[in-house]
């Protein structure tokens, strides 16, 4: 809800916004090594300069696409990055091949881009975005506490 430039949010959303705006140490958002396991189809791994290790599967990455269209769609549906779309009720579900990148490209020194097998190409996954959405046990526990 908003009124003349004032937006009222729930406490959990305010915490999430604070977390997103919090600066991370530079070494926490600089990869030491990036592995995209495209041939194996397993996902991407990053060893960060601060010693942390993160890994994501391709399904999570595709569902977490940070482009404006995907971001707005997730917000409207109340989904978090990586959370899949709800499937429409149908008599026979249609087969969808699992998400896989057709092409992977660096974006400067700050991000990576995937061209997905479903034709989607507009997401730019910044190192900051990926670190903030680390799925490891340690980071998942921190998210539960906040």
For residue 86, the model assigns a pLDDT of 85
For residue 31, the model assigns a pLDDT of 97
Indicate whether 91 belongs to any domain: no
Indicate whether 116 belongs to any domain: yes
Indicate whether 20 belongs to any domain: yes
Separation of alpha carbons 70 and 128, rounded Å? 18
Indicate whether 32 belongs to any domain: yes
Indicate whether 5 belongs to any domain: no
Domain hosting residue 65, numbered range: 10-84+99-145
Separation of alpha carbons 137 and 115, rounded Å? 28
Q: Tens place of pLDDT for every residue, the chain, 146 residues?
A: 445 556 675 666 555 555 555 788 889 999 999 999 999 999 999 999 999 999 999 999 999 999 999 999 999 999 999 999 887 776 677 788 999 999 999 999 999 999 999 999 999 999 999 999 999 988 887 764 44
Q: Residues 75, 118, 95, 83: is their CA dihedral positive or negative?
A: negative
CB 69 within 8 A of CB 144: no
Separation of alpha carbons 56 and 130, rounded Å? 9
Our count of domains for the chain comes to: 1
**CATH code, 19:** 3.30.2020.30
What global pTM score does this model have?
A: 0.80
Alpha helices in 1-146 (DSSP H): 11-21, 58-63, 68-77, 127-132, 137-145
């Amino acid at each position: 809800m908003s009124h003349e430039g004032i937006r009222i949010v729930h406490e959990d959303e305010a915490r999430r916004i604070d977390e997103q705006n919090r600066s991370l140490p530079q070494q926490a958002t600089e990869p030491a090594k990036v592995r995209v396991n495209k041939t194996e189809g397993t996902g991407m791994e990053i060893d960060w300069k601060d010693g942390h290790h993160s890994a994501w599967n391709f399904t999570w990455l595709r569902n977490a696409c940070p482009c404006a269209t995907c971001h707005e769609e997730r917000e409207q549906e109340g989904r978090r990055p990586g959370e899949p779309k709800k499937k429409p009720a149908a008599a026979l579900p249609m087969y969808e091949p699992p998400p896989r990148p057709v092409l992977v490209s660096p974006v400067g020194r700050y991000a990576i881009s995937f061209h997905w097998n479903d034709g989607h190409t507009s997401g730019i996954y910044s190192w900051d975005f990926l670190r903030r959405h680390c799925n490891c046990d340690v980071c998942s526990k921190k998210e539960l506490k906040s």
